[in-house]
């Protein structure tokens, strides 16, 4: 069976090239075609002799991501439904603002963690994405950013479908290619990875200290309640999460982003804000307050703008850094997992 060329490490690729009786400099050429120029076929690699391209295509293939549908919102947010080689659907979003263009990408088709408020969680789990499939989304969204807004991506958020830390190797493999100065060369500082709080992977990520920003989907600082909306919180309780995040901060000196999704009558009272403020005393944080994006078939509602403002002001008065995120692309169902779900 043919293997996806983009699953090879550089040394595996080199072994293959030498095995074909070719010179080692071809490895570097092919590597750059794959991860710098974003090649999606061997035919594109015009610098290679046809004989080598033939040898490569006898043994390897490209499992590319293709655009299935593009949905444009009135606020210029563009959501893409992608199709994978095996027919799976995932999604990515391009979010422009005056100063930046941000790509939101997926790491799994579906997600096994089943958070109660999340459309992806409801969708169930299909499979992990490969390095090439994660990279392709960035490349496609970067091209789209260039054609639509005449500028390259400035930021990447790993906040689409899936739990990135359940697909650790592939996610880090893709980040390595995206950030390498010899390859795509996007600064790791401009990438944010969001996790629901998998402790062993937070520790591993801390040790790697790759410069990528870490965001934690907290949504509640109350253990009992958090468990009720995020089943994974039973396995990784807040007491352990605090220890892991302290470790992360010690290792990287980075501020931690906390994502807090506000849902009406669920986690939006001043008592909830108080608990959140207490949680934030443990390490330097930045809080993103996100107004819940309502999902058909899920009962949660978004709170009124006043409640969001009051919640934010309470935290600001405790000297915490707070960003209020109004939801973008509402008219096109841009929240996590809503599109791939749409038949
Ligand atoms: N699995 C990871 C990353 C993907 S989810 C995680 O949970 O962090 C990215 C973010 O979208 C998370 O903070 C998640 O809680 C949030 N989210 C999920 N459903 C949402 C919705 N309907 N409206 C707004 N944000 C949502
Ligand atoms: Fe998975 Fe994140 Fe959705 Fe939870 S919020 S189900 S971890 S994608």
pLDDT in tens, 59-117: 999 999 999 999 998 888 999 999 999 999 999 999 998 889 999 999 999 999 999 99
Q: How far is the CA of 115 from the centre of ligand 2 (A)?
A: 5
Average pLDDT, the chain: 94
Q: What is the pLDDT of residue 329?
A: 66
91: annotated active-site residue: yes
| Residue 125 CB less than 6 A away from ligand 1 | no
| Ligand 2 close to Cβ of residue 196 (< 6 A) | yes
Tokens of 92: 């990515």
pLDDT at res. 75:
85
Please tell me the distance from the alpha carbon of residue 161 to that of residue 269, in angstroms, as a whole number.
Answer: 28
State the number of CA atoms in the 13 A half-sphere of 98 facing the CB.
0
* pLDDT in the model for residue 328: 67
Contact between residue 72 and residue 16 where contact means Cβ atoms under 8 Å apart: no
Q: How far apart are CA 51 and CA 42, in angstroms?
A: 11
pLDDT at 122: 85
Query: Model pTM?
Result: 0.95
Nearest to 91 by CA among 138, 161, 156: 161
**Spatial separation of the C-alpha atoms in residues 54 and 46, rounded to whole Å:** 12
What are the helix and strand counts (H, E) for the chain? 12, 14
pLDDT at 73: 87
Q: Return d(Cα 245, Cα 203) in angstroms, integer.
A: 8
Ligand that lies nearest to the alpha carbon of residue 167, given by its number in the listed order: 1
Q: What is the pLDDT of residues 212-241, one digit of tens each?
A: 999 999 999 999 999 999 999 999 999 999
User: According to the model, what pLDDT value does residue 96 have?
Assistant: 93
The CA-based angle 160-247-221, given to 5 degrees, is 60
Q: How far is the CA of 194 from the centre of ligand 2 (A)?
A: 10
Predicted local distance difference test score (pLDDT) of residue 23:
96
State the pLDDT at residue 60.
98
Distance CA 117, CA 99 (A): 31
What 3-state DSSP class applies to 326? coil
- Using DSSP's 3-state secondary structure scheme, residue 92 falls into strand
Residue ranges, the chain, pLDDT below 50: 342-343
Please tell me the predicted confidence (pLDDT) of residue 343: 40
Tell which one of 93, 118, 327, 332 to mutate to probe ligand 1, the residue whose CB is within 8 A of the most ligand atoms. 118
**Which residue in 22, 91, 133, 259 is the catalytic one?**
91
- Tell how strand 256-262 and strand 285-291 pair up: parallel
Residues with Cβ within 8 Å of residue 125, at least 6 apart in sequence: 108, 109, 110, 111, 112
Strands (E), the chain: 3-4, 60-61, 66-72, 78-83, 89-96, 101-104, 108-110, 125-128, 155-158, 191-195, 213-217, 256-262, 285-291, 321-325
6 contacts 130 by C-beta, under 8 angstroms: yes
User: 85 C-alpha vs ligand 1 centroid, how far in Å?
Assistant: 25
Any atom of ligand 2 within 6 Å of the Cβ of 136: no
Q: What residue owns the CA closest to ligand 2's atom 4? A: 115
């Amino acid at each position: 069976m043919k293997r996806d060329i983009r699953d090879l490490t550089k040394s595996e690729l080199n072994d293959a090239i030498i095995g074909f009786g070719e010179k080692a400099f071809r490895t570097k050429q092919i590597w750059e075609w794959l991860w710098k120029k974003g090649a999606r076929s061997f035919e594109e690699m015009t610098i290679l002799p046809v004989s080598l391209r033939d040898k490569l295509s006898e043994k390897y293939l490209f499992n590319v991501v293709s655009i299935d549908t593009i949905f444009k919102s009135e606020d210029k947010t563009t959501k893409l439904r992608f199709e994978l080689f095996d027919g799976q659907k995932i999604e990515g979003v391009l979010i422009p603002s005056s100063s930046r263009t941000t790509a939101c990408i997926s790491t799994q088709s579906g997600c096994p963690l089943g958070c109660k408020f999340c459309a992806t969680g409801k969708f169930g789990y299909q499979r992990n994405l490969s390095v090439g499939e994660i990279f392709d989304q960035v490349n496609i969204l970067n091209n789209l950013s260039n054609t639509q807004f005449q500028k390259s991506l400035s930021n990447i958020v790993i906040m689409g479908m899936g739990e990135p830390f359940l697909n650790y190797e592939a996610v880090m493999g893709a980040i390595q290619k995206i950030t390498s100065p010899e390859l795509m060369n996007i600064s790791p500082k401009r990438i944010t990875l969001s996790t629901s709080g998998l402790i062993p992977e937070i520790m591993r990520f801390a040790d790697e200290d790759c410069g990528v920003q870490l965001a934690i989907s907290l949504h509640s600082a109350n253990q009992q309640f958090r468990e009720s909306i995020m089943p994974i919180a039973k396995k990784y309780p807040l007491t352990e999460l605090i220890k892991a995040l302290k470790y992360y901060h010690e290792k990287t000196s980075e501020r931690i982003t906390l994502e807090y999704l506000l849902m009406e009558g669920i986690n939006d009272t001043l008592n909830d804000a108080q608990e959140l403020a207490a949680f934030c005393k443990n390490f330097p944080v930045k809080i993103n307050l996100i107004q819940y994006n309502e999902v058909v078939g899920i009962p949660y509602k978004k709170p009124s703008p006043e409640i969001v403002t009051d919640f934010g002001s309470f935290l600001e008065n405790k000297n915490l850094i707070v960003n209020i995120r109004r939801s973008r692309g509402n008219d096109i169902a841009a929240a996590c997992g809503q599109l791939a779900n749409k038949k």
